[in-house]
Chain A
Amino acid sequence: MVKVKFFAVLKGLVGKEEISLEIKEGTSLNQLIEQLKADLPPLVDIMQKGGILISVNQEVLEKDAIIQDGDEIAFLPPFAGG
């Protein structure tokens, strides 16, 4: 089971702040994104638009990274602090 979090504008677009889902061993972030797109259709447009970073356990990783049971994944829209 992994936890997936959505922040800021994504929270509203996806309609959820956090979800939990089962993953198969060896799942990559890319595969997780595809799995999520099926359940959360707004993600298709969001990911196509670009500019979204994805973190695993609070570290931004490339989309070919392999995730593990218990990981916390977050979809991060462009930052705008300061």
Chain B
Amino acid sequence: MDQDRIRVQTEDFSIEEETKKLLACSKRIGGVVNFLGTARDFSKGQEIHKIDFDHYPGMAEKRLAEIREQALKDYDIIEVTIIHRVGEISIGENIVLIVVGAEHRKDAFRACSWCIDELKRITPIWKKETTPDGIVWVEEHP
């Protein structure tokens, strides 16, 4: 079950499907907060044509699992799903999804915000942007 809650994959995901799966785990859930990160076409004053994500297989999944476990300990929430796509991603496509289910909305919002910040801070995933001037590896996480 937990393996399905943490995924690093090349294929797209369905927000509706993941939300349904999370809701199915407990009837106590009264609020679900989703964070969806998508590929935008503009960054630091430059047009972006496409994005590629590289990751450290094994370590990236391990970090996401730690984030999920920590969120379940530190916040009054019921379940968390974290999915990150890797490989080539076109503009407008989905990149990352975090789904948090809790009895009440405030805990779900707080946990979801913490999870995405932590994902950016500790997960070995890297982004390469293709711009009109060439290819740039992004080195910060705003």
- Residues of chain A having any CB pair with chain B under 8 Å: 5, 7-9, 11, 51, 55, 58, 74, 76-82
CA distance A38 to B52 in the complex (A): 31
Q: Closest B-chain residue to A77, C-beta based?
A: B126
* A77 partner residues in chain B, CB cutoff 8 A: 126, 137, 139
* A4 smallest CB distance to B (angstroms): 13
A-B contact pairs, 26 of them (CB 8 A): A7-B54, A7-B56, A8-B126, A8-B128, A9-B139, A55-B56, A55-B59, A55-B124, A58-B56, A58-B58, A74-B56, A76-B56, A77-B137, A79-B121, A79-B124, A79-B126, A80-B125, A80-B127, A80-B137, A80-B139, A81-B60, A81-B84, A81-B119, A82-B84, A82-B119, A82-B125
B94-142 residues at the A interface, CB under 8 angstroms: 95-96, 116, 119-128, 137-141
Interface residue SS majority, chain B: mixed
Determine if B37 is an interface residue (Cβ-Cβ < 8 Å).
Answer: yes
Q: Which of A55, A74, A80 touches B126 (beta carbons < 8 Å)?
A: A80
Cβ–Cβ < 8 Å partners of B124 in chain A: 7, 55, 74, 76, 79, 81
Total number of residue pairs linking A and B with CB closer than 8 Å? 71
Chain B nearest CB from A59 CB (Å) reads 8
Task: Establish whether residues B37 and A82, one from each chain, have CB atoms under 8 Å apart when the complex forms.
Answer: yes
Q: What 6 pairs across the A-B complex have the smallest Cβ distances?
A: A81-B125, A8-B126, A9-B137, A58-B59, A80-B127, A80-B138
The reply to whether B59 and A79 contact each other, CB–CB distance below 8 Å, is no
Q: How many whole Å from B87's CB to the nearest CB in chain A?
A: 13
Give the Cβ gap from A58 to chain B, nearest Cβ, in Å.
Answer: 4
Take A8-B54, A8-B128, A58-B56 as given contacts and tell me if A79 and B120 are in contact as well, using a CB distance cutoff of 8 Å.
Answer: yes
**Cα–Cα distance between A55 and B125 once the two chains are bound (Å):** 14
Chain B contacts for A76, CB-based, 8 A: 56, 124
